[in-house]
Amino acid sequence: MGSRSSFLIVANRLPVDRSIGPDGTATWRRSPGGLVTAIAPVMQSRDGAWLGWHGAPGEELEPFHDDGMNLIPIPLSEEEVQLYYEGFSNATLWPLYHDVVAPPVFSREMWETYKAVNLRFAEATAEAAAPGAVVWVQDYQLQLVPQMLRERRPDLRIGFFLHIPFPPVELFWRLPWRTELVKGLLGADLVGFQRPGGASNFIRLCRRLLGLPYKGNEIFHDDRVVTAQSFPISVDFGELDKLARDPQIVHRAKEIRFELGDPEHLLLGVDRLDYTKGIGTRLEAFGELLDERQVEPGEAVFVQIATPSRERVEEYRRLRDDIELQVGRINGMHSMIGHQPIQYLHQAYDRHELAALYLAADIMVVTPLRDGMNLVAKEYVSCHHDLRGALVLSEFAGAADELRQAYLVNPYDVEGVKRQILAAMRATPHEVARRMRAMRRRVSTYDVDRWAGEFLTALES
Ligand code: ADP
Ligand code: G6P
């Protein structure tokens, strides 16, 4: 590559993930999660470079091209993966920012490694950026990068977007390194959040913690203005809509229903296997509907797809065991020869199969206990050009702000979840179409391109 870029994305992950098999052979696949889903189309339509970790510990790789993108790999040692990625990012910040649904770990060693890795990302970015370049730093793993980068390259325009919720002041306050983290973010010109509440939590925090003056969404710091604003992220509606209309996908959707025994109701869950996603809650609700015979065995099938995620982090290991036990119990009680009420698939699927599954499903059940946005909900809506399909959606997902016509639920209220699943099952086709049409209007208007466009316009202005 050699030359410097005038537009850079900096994220913990590259869009492709490298894993080394037991025999030493390397394979590439798409990286998991919503960040990559959203940023990849943004990068493909712009000229620039993406800096991130490629997923294999201890391996140093040269910059390369993939799918129309220039990728600059940042290496992480095995120890850094443990302390920075699995540790401070995913055992401290992730649970703390998601309403403490699991207890966060506070470790000085993890914090030190987080700082060191953020510095590596900042230095590599300073090296790769052309004079006056626009740099867009992504997510909770890299919150110190904006300030570290500004110290090295004050000529850059620096944006930051947090894909996960920004917690209320009272929760953030627990962090022993709260001041350093906030100062890290304040190195950006624009700090973006999923919801308006995230931006106002951040502004309040800057005032309480650092005594900074502010006006509206502008914070005054170090003779600069830092803007904190919400930009709800979205999906590539056009691409998904097109994919779901492809005759092969339509055919595959029918085939899936047939393979499942043509149930009257096909319910679907698609998530990373993460304790914030409320997978246990929705299975509990479905299990009780079967216990109470509100849903007859054979009448409905629940397909739950859960991609393996962060498997060495203790809470994720426990979650996997809990879900497998729960699925086993419900299936043990309610299966018949040739029919299992829950199909649990601990696997990642490609975009085509996922689109066919979305199209096949009558009811998409999305019940996170807390979620920045939840792109799965928007993907489901984007695929239902047939206006069939009901969405059961947690009020605790960012997507609930926009998808008001979903069957909204409080995931802590199992009775409420059961009621809304039943309402979705019993809705008339006319009612289902009315809701779906309104949700599709919203997602098609506010797609990922608009999200990125609005963020970058605000950053560059
Ligand atoms: P998160 O970013 O927390 O994982 P999102 O719902 O915002 O949650 O984004 C998840 C992304 O990962 C979506 O684009 C979804 O299609 C994809 N995904 C989730 N589960 C799977 C799976 N089992 N196979 C393939 N892709 C998946
Ligand atoms: C969420 C986070 C992303 C992360 C993704 C997958 O979407 O906001 O930053 O990349 O989950 O998680 P992983 O730990 O596999 O990168």
The response to whether residue 164 sits with its C-beta less than 6 Å from ligand 2 reads yes
C-alpha distances (whole Å) from 245 to each of 181, 356, 374, 379 are 45, 10, 23, 14
What's the Rg (C-alpha) of the chain? 22
Ligand 1 pocket: which of 140, 233, 272, 380 to mutate (most atoms <8 Å of CB)? 272
Going by alpha carbons, the residue nearest to atom 5 of ligand 2 is 33
**Shared domain check, 104 and 11:** yes
For residue 400, the one-letter residue type is: A
Distance CA 26, CA 56 (A): 9
Quote the ligand 1 centre to 394 CA distance (angstroms): 16
Q: What is the pLDDT of residue 21?
A: 85
Going by alpha carbons, the residue nearest to atom 15 of ligand 2 is 32
Note whether 355 and 240 are within 8 A (CB). Answer: yes
In which band, very low, low, confident or very high, does the pLDDT at 161 lie, cut at 50, 70 and 90? Answer: very high
The response to whether residue 37 sits with its C-beta less than 6 Å from ligand 1 reads yes
Note whether 370 and 165 are within 8 A (CB). Answer: yes
- Residue 212, pLDDT > 70, answer yes
The response to whether residue 307 sits with its C-beta less than 6 Å from ligand 1 reads yes
**Shared domain check, 280 and 394:** yes
**Shared domain check, 193 and 265:** no
Going by alpha carbons, the residue nearest to atom 11 of ligand 2 is 33
Q: What is the pLDDT of residue 128?
A: 97
Q: What is the pLDDT of residue 436?
A: 98
- Of 381, 40, 430, 448, which is closest to residue 241 (Cα–Cα)? 381
Distance CA 258, CA 202 (A): 50
- pLDDT, mean of residues 258-263: 96
> Chain-wide mean pLDDT for the chain?
97
H helices of 211-350, where?
Answer: 237-245, 247-259, 279-291, 314-334
In which band, very low, low, confident or very high, does the pLDDT at 225 lie, cut at 50, 70 and 90? Answer: very high
CA 192 to chain centroid: 15
- Of 157, 234, 223, which is closest to residue 190 (Cα–Cα)? 157
Q: What is the pLDDT of residue 297?
A: 82
**Shared domain check, 108 and 181:** yes
- Of 154, 118, 94, which is closest to residue 371 (Cα–Cα)? 94
H helices of 292-386, where?
Answer: 314-334, 351-360, 375-383
The response to whether residue 310 sits with its C-beta less than 6 Å from ligand 2 reads yes
Cβ neighbours of 18 (radius 10 Å): 17
Going by alpha carbons, the residue nearest to atom 8 of ligand 2 is 163
**Shared domain check, 438 and 455:** no
**Shared domain check, 267 and 162:** no
Q: What is the pLDDT of residue 273?
A: 98
Quote the ligand 1 centre to 243 CA distance (angstroms): 17
**Shared domain check, 114 and 228:** yes
- pLDDT, mean of residues 138-153: 98
Shortest-distance atom of ligand 1 to CA 350: 25
Q: What is the pLDDT of residue 19?
A: 85
Quote the ligand 2 centre to 13 CA distance (angstroms): 8
Ligand 1 pocket: which of 39, 93, 270, 373 to mutate (most atoms <8 Å of CB)? 270
- Residue 82, pLDDT > 60, answer yes
**Shared domain check, 179 and 281:** no
C-alpha distances (whole Å) from 323 to each of 33, 117, 318, 430 are 20, 33, 9, 35
The response to whether residue 163 sits with its C-beta less than 6 Å from ligand 2 reads yes
The response to whether residue 32 sits with its C-beta less than 6 Å from ligand 2 reads yes
In this predicted model, what pLDDT tens digit does every residue of 91-135 receive, in sequence order?
999 999 999 999 999 999 999 999 999 999 999 999 999 999 999
Distance CA 81, CA 75 (A): 10
The response to whether residue 376 sits with its C-beta less than 6 Å from ligand 1 reads yes
- Residue 3, pLDDT > 90, answer no
In this predicted model, what pLDDT tens digit does every residue of 4-48 receive, in sequence order?
999 999 999 999 999 888 888 888 999 999 999 999 999 998 999
In this predicted model, what pLDDT tens digit does every residue of 52-65 receive, in sequence order?
999 999 999 999 99
Q: What is the pLDDT of residue 22?
A: 86
Going by alpha carbons, the residue nearest to atom 6 of ligand 2 is 33
Note whether 73 and 32 are within 8 A (CB). Answer: no
Q: What is the pLDDT of residue 20?
A: 84
Shortest-distance atom of ligand 2 to CA 11: 9
The response to whether residue 34 sits with its C-beta less than 6 Å from ligand 2 reads yes
Q: What is the pLDDT of residue 2?
A: 59
Going by alpha carbons, the residue nearest to atom 14 of ligand 2 is 310
Ligand 1 pocket: which of 36, 194, 279, 376 to mutate (most atoms <8 Å of CB)? 376
Note whether 273 and 279 are within 8 A (CB). Answer: yes
Tell me, what CATH number does 337's domain have?
Answer: 3.40.50.2000
**Shared domain check, 303 and 206:** no
In this predicted model, what pLDDT tens digit does every residue of 238-248 receive, in sequence order?
999 999 999 99
Number of domains in the chain: 2
- Residue 1, pLDDT > 70, answer no
Q: What is the pLDDT of residue 163?
A: 98
Shortest-distance atom of ligand 1 to CA 379: 16
Note whether 400 and 406 are within 8 A (CB). Answer: yes
Distance CA 299, CA 388 (A): 18
**Shared domain check, 360 and 346:** yes
**Shared domain check, 290 and 226:** no
Shortest-distance atom of ligand 1 to CA 306: 23
C-alpha distances (whole Å) from 26 to each of 13, 48, 51, 72, 86 are 17, 26, 20, 18, 22
Query: 108: domain range?
Result: 5-233+449-460
The response to whether residue 348 sits with its C-beta less than 6 Å from ligand 2 reads no
Quote the ligand 1 centre to 251 CA distance (angstroms): 23
**Shared domain check, 269 and 227:** no
Write b or e for each residue in 43-74: b if 16 or more Cβ atoms lie within 10 A of its Cβ, otherwise e. Answer: beeeebbbbbbbbbbeeeeeeeeeeebbbbbb
The response to whether residue 448 sits with its C-beta less than 6 Å from ligand 1 reads no
